[in-house]
Structure formats: C-alpha cells, structure tokens
Amino acid sequence: MMKTNLPQSAVIGASGEHLVLSHLLRMNYVAGKAPDNTKDYDLIVLNKDGTSSFPIQVKTTMIKKRGWVLQEKHEKPIKNLLFCFVYMETNSNKNEIYVIDSQTVSYVVKTSHKIYLKLPGLQGQKHNDSSMRKLYRNYQNISGVNKLQNFKSYLSKSEIEFLKIYSDGWLDKYKDAWHLIGK
C-alpha cells in the first residue's frame, strides 16, 4: 500500500467540523462551532424554525477502509445528539457526510463490539477489551469474520443478522441525511 502524508489528526478533525458547518450554513441553518473541548459535541445547530437545538459530533477520516474511531462512551445514546461521519479524499475535493442519530450509533457500536469480543483474532487468539470502538461501512469484515468458516458458531442469531443488516451499503441511507435535524 502506498504511504500518503496525511495531515495531523487534529487538522483532519477540524477540517471535518468546518466542512459540516459550511454545509449547515449553506442550507440556511443557524449553526456554530461549540467551544473547544466541549464534552460530547463539536457543533450546535438550530432547526430551521428555531424551536429546537441539536448538538452534532463530527468524526472525520481520510482512509475509507479504516472507518471512524469512537469510544466506549458512544455506546450510550445522548438525546438529540447527531453524528456527522465525514470521509475526505486525500488528493481531491471529494467528500462524503453521513448524518446519523445517536441511538443508531449507540446500537451499532455496542453490538459490533460485543461481536468483536466473541470472535477469535486472525491467529485464533481471544480479543482484548478496550475503550476504543469503530463505526465501519461494512461489518461483514469485522475481525476477519469472512475468513472464519465457522464464525456462526460463536454468535447468536441476532448477531448473525446484525452482520447481514450492517454490511456494505448500510450507511447509504444516512448519506447527506440533513433532514434528521429538526426531528
């Protein structure tokens, strides 16, 4: 794989926040950046009639296959919180923004981590627990599940169904889902 010189992670994060903010302002929302180090969100936006505010947490990546890094705390939904998952191409102006509610993110992160811990690693070892979580485009690849012939023996029926539902393409309905603001 060719190594690219990516900007520092703080610069990537700030770029994603400003990209989302510019989209919100262009769509005529009242929006602004939250003070630095605000605990659970990066931006605040008012719905178009000004009756409700919504905090937004922005997560940005420049490596498409890597997904977005989250933490254990994201397993608990926060009322009215929306996530904007941003993918920016390294050498072009192409970007993608997925707007997802906190309840969905919470469910996906919690369930996928539970599955990850149940499945063996590539060498057959038990996975160690940590506070890191990930949001992926395709959970069919979680922990090399596609290379395990007997992966179903490790999982419940609902976990197997989760892997089917949250496979490649599950994020499509959230791409530019700005209509979630104000719901």
pLDDT in tens, 131-147: 999 999 999 878 777 77
- Cα–Cα dist 67/108, whole Å: 13
Where is mean pLDDT largest: 34-43, 84-93, 133-142, 167-176?
167-176
- Cα–Cα dist 95/87, whole Å: 5
Q: What is the pLDDT of residue 50?
A: 81
**Residue 85's pLDDT band (boundaries 50, 70, 90)?**
very high
C-alpha angle 162/20/85, rounded to 5°? 20
Tens digits of residue pLDDT in 96-127: 999 999 999 999 999 999 999 998 887 778 88
Q: What is the pLDDT of residue 91?
A: 84
